[in-house]
Amino acid sequence: MLTLDTCCTLVPYFEVQDGQLEAFKALARKLVAKTRTEPGCIHYAFSFNGNLAHCREGYVDAAALLAHRENVAELLGQALKIAKIVRFEVHAPEAEIDKLRGPMASRNPQFFVLEEGFRRCSEA
């Protein structure tokens, strides 16, 4: 029996201002630590390529993703003073994306719908 996939993945890319990479990395470490209290967070990690940073994020569902946004709002605000989001994607099943369109509209993400038959899901 397959489990219902409600996983929501955020894919933000940040361009960090010149001379601010170490400050951004310090904030990224704080963001990672902050997510440790989030029961709906599946994974959360940063990777870097020069002054570009990518945050790989996965949540059990839209509610967990929205709870995460509230949890990290202050730290993200600090990060956005020294970096800008240059690409932002949301990947999730359509029912979960429907729950995110309104709350995420201000970030203008690109939404990718995860359709049945195009994924492998663990057995229950």
pLDDT for the residue 117:
63
The answer for residues whose C-beta is within 8 angstroms of residue 117's C-beta and 6 or more apart is: none
Is residue 68, in this structure, part of any structural domain at all?
yes
What are the tokens at 104? Answer: 């995420």
Residue 3: inside a domain: no
| Structural domain contains residue 29 | yes
SS3 state of residue 43: strand
* Structural domains in the chain (count): 1
Tokens 């994924």 -> residue: 119
Instruction: Show pLDDT as tens, one digit a residue, over the chain (124 residues).
Output: 456 788 999 999 999 999 999 999 999 999 999 999 999 999 999 999 999 999 999 999 999 999 999 999 999 999 999 999 999 999 999 999 999 999 999 999 999 998 876 666 665 4
Neighbours of 56 (CB within 10 A): 13
Task: For residue 118, tell me if it sits in a domain.
Answer: no
Nearest to 96 by CA among 8, 14, 9: 8
pTM of the full structure: 0.90
* Euclidean distance between CA atoms 16 and 25, whole angstroms: 10
Range of the domain at 65: 23-113
pLDDT at 102: 96
> Which helix (DSSP H) or strand (DSSP E) does residue 91 occupy?
strand 83-92
Q: Examine residue 97 and state whether it is found in any structural domain, yes or no.
A: yes
Residue 63's CATH number: 3.30.70.100
pLDDT at 114: 87
Sheet holding 41-49, edge to edge: 41-49, 52-59, 8-16, 83-92, 110-113
